[in-house]
Amino acid sequence: MSVASTLEDIRSKEHDIDKYLYLRNLQRQREPEFYSLLVQHTEEILPYVYTPTVGEACQRYHHLPLVPRGLYLDAGSKDDFLALMRAWPQQEVRHAHFEDHMQIQTWVVVVTDGERILGLGDLGTGGMGIAEGKILLYTAAAGVDPRVCLPVFLDVGTNNESLLKDPLYKGIRKPRLRGGAYHEVVANFMAALRQWQPHVLVQFEDFANHNAFELLNEYRANACVFNDDIQGTACITLAGLLSALRATGKSLTEQRILFYGAGEAGTGIAELIAIALERRHGLTREEARQHCLFMDSKGLVCASRTDLQPHKLPFAHDHPFQRGLLDAVNTFRPTALIGVSAVKNAFTPDVVQAMSSINERPIIFPLSNPTSKAECTFEEAFKGSAGSVLFASGSPFPPINTDGVTQHAAQANNAYVFPAIGFAAVLTRASTISDEVFLAAAEMLSHMTTLEELSRGIIFPRFSAIQTVSASLTAAVAEQMVRAGEGKGPPRPAGQSAWEAYVRSKMFKVPLQSKL
Ligand SMILES: O=C([O-])CC(=O)C(=O)O
Ligand SMILES: [Mg+2]
């Protein structure tokens, strides 16, 4: 079947979940065609293999007619992880590019324990769907060979009552492991990976707040790891902010940024903003953090609160407590409002209106995923601000038509950056991944739209250009990694264009060779 007729088949399916299932089958049965479709029609296909549809797939995972693709590791097998990795079928297939040129095998692993899937909470082993969805982006966006991409689910139990009662649920029917027992499972997993392959990049995905921060802090100094929700989301959001500032002509130092939601995404973004203010504008980290204010489910995160989790403390400033978002907007007069709360409709018309009366071009980013959790829609932000908004959402919104002009919503999704950063780490066999990498990638991405596009609110290149964007980003990040001594690999091209040529030469070319 040709790619065109397959695309027609997909378009003819009424429900997004049926498109998702069709695409999974295609991947299993006609892999070359699947990857051709994904790479050639990324913008159209992505919403069905990734957010928002992947959210529904994770919620219904055990009831859908699908064959899991990723590696399932349960806590009870914690001493056998290495054997299970070695038995994983796809590892028999060698990565031809790397064998030819670098004599190494280096793998990409996306791992989750399913406790915070998008904004949907604990979905138990249904979280396998997010690891399987994210890993596709490595090939679709950055050109990583799918044969070295491994989605992993670590089953440590679930606290989701309805899953525990569901007769079709296949995961461990026990409450989640916590504390030492939990960390031992992850430590065994990381140790097994080290023994399994000479170099592996590990992307932590959709862990709950406490574990997300703890695991990142535990492994980042000595392993090639990053947390996509803390660091990937921070990178794309800072890029969006810097891009929006090119449109307003203002500096990052002039911004007051109000976050609605204070989980790993929010505080990850704020910390990267603080790093940017510190390293590029000379503020101290403490001064820099004052530019970011948080609201959580109880109200303003402020110094008088005694109920704050550790990751919120750096942002608990000396301000009077406020309960409601509208009050906070009117009091602090933010230049930017960032939604990371998973609370649908939290950005009410009043809030959008207040942001617009304070700012000539209000920056409003409802980032919660999937689309059903977004704090407001593109249309609400656009119309409520009389078109002045600089908007980006986490999941895609359809374009809107005003006065005969089609307006496209920018999508500040970490998919713009994690594949490129990961690919750079793979190519250079990075030992670690520093904050500077995320900062540099954000800065570079923020310059990828023209001033004319920015004036029309287009703050990112379209997803249809993702391979070009990723090639440039991968090159810049790889160069930065080698310069900083984090990248240990043999490539040493001089300058961005030589790096870009090198990266392109290493990108996976579809369709796959017949040997697969
Ligand atoms: O998966 C996405 O679309 C972005 C993300 O990491 C999340 O929401 O957890
Ligand atoms: Mg995530």
pLDDT given for residue 12 in this prediction:
98
Helix (H) or strand (E) holding 72: strand 71-74
Is residue 516 pLDDT above 50, yes or no?
Answer: no
pLDDT given for residue 106 in this prediction:
85
Q: How far is ligand 2, taken at its centre, from the CA of residue 370, in Å?
A: 10
| Nearest ligand 1 atom to alpha carbon 395 | 3
Domains of the chain: 3-223 (3.40.50.10380), 233-411 (3.40.50.720)
pLDDT given for residue 201 in this prediction:
98
| Smallest CA separation from ligand 1 atom 8, residue | 118
Structure tokens at 229: 């929700």
Per the annotation, binding residues for (S)-malate are: 116, 369, 413
- The pLDDT tens digits of the residues spanning 108-142 come to 999 999 999 999 999 999 999 999 999 999 999 99
Binned at pLDDT 50, 70 and 90, residue 2 comes out as confident
Only one residue has tokens 């959402």, namely 393
More confident residue, 511 or 477: 477
- The pLDDT tens digits of the residues spanning 164-220 come to 999 999 999 999 999 999 999 999 999 999 999 999 999 999 999 999 999 999 999
Q: What does each C-alpha distance from 173 to 123, 124, 131, 162, 352 come to in angstroms?
A: 12, 9, 21, 11, 44
**Nearest partner of 199 among 509, 488, 416, judged by Cα:** 488
| Nearest ligand 1 atom to alpha carbon 117 | 9
* Overall average pLDDT of the 139-167 stretch: 96
Q: Which of 118, 211, 226 to mutate to test the pocket of ligand 1 (most atoms within 8 A of CB)?
A: 118
* Overall average pLDDT of the 15-41 stretch: 94
* Overall average pLDDT of the 477-499 stretch: 92
Query: What positions carry a catalytic annotation?
Result: 50, 134
Percent helix, strand and coil across the chain, each to the nearest 5:
50, 10, 35
pLDDT given for residue 103 in this prediction:
42
Identify the bridge partners of residue 223 per DSSP, sorted by sequence position: none
Structure tokens at 115: 């406790």
Is residue 92 pLDDT above 80, yes or no?
Answer: no
Structure tokens at 346: 């939290």
The residue count of the chain comes to 516
pLDDT given for residue 512 in this prediction:
52
* Overall average pLDDT of the 353-359 stretch: 98
Ligand showing the shortest atom-to-Cα distance for residue 418: 1
Could you give the ipTM of this predicted complex? Answer: 0.99
* Overall average pLDDT of the 349-356 stretch: 98
Structure tokens at 76: 């009870």
Q: What does each C-alpha distance from 161 to 124, 164, 165, 169, 182 come to in angstroms?
A: 10, 5, 6, 11, 20
Q: What are phi and psi of 415, to 5 degrees?
A: -60, -20
How far is the first Cα of the chain from the last one, in angstroms, to the nearest whole number?
18
Binned at pLDDT 50, 70 and 90, residue 455 comes out as confident
The mean pLDDT value of the chain amounts to 94
Cβ atoms of 356 and 386 closer than 8 Å? yes
Cα angle for residues 410, 416, 419 (degrees, 5° grid): 165
Q: Which of 48, 51, 204, 373 to mutate to test the pocket of ligand 1 (most atoms within 8 A of CB)?
A: 51
Q: How many helices (H) and strands (E) does the chain have?
A: 22, 14
- The pLDDT tens digits of the residues spanning 228-246 come to 999 999 999 999 999 999 9
Is residue 99 pLDDT above 90, yes or no?
Answer: no
Per the annotation, binding residues for a divalent metal cation are: 205-206, 229
Residue 13 class from Cβ within 10 Å (0-12 exposed, 13-18 middle, 19+ buried)?
A: middle
Cα angle for residues 62, 68, 71 (degrees, 5° grid): 120
| Nearest ligand 1 atom to alpha carbon 133 | 1
Q: 228: Cβ below 6 Å to ligand 1?
A: yes
Q: How large a percentage of the chain has pLDDT more than 70?
A: 96
Q: 341: Cβ below 6 Å to ligand 1?
A: no
Binned at pLDDT 50, 70 and 90, residue 511 comes out as low
Q: How far is ligand 2, taken at its centre, from the CA of residue 3, in Å?
A: 30
In angstroms, rounded to a whole number, what is the distance separating the alpha carbons of residues 119 and 97?
38
- The pLDDT tens digits of the residues spanning 275-296 come to 999 999 999 999 999 999 999 9
pLDDT given for residue 133 in this prediction:
98
In angstroms, rounded to a whole number, what is the distance separating the alpha carbons of residues 162 and 403?
47
Is residue 250 pLDDT above 90, yes or no?
Answer: yes
| Nearest ligand 1 atom to alpha carbon 232 | 6
Q: How large a percentage of the chain has pLDDT more than 90?
A: 89
Q: 229: Cβ below 6 Å to ligand 1?
A: yes
* Overall average pLDDT of the 239-263 stretch: 97
Q: Which of 50, 138, 231, 233 to mutate to test the pocket of ligand 1 (most atoms within 8 A of CB)?
A: 233
- The pLDDT tens digits of the residues spanning 398-450 come to 999 998 999 999 999 999 999 999 999 999 999 999 999 999 999 999 999 99
Q: What are phi and psi of 301, to 5 degrees?
A: -80, 110
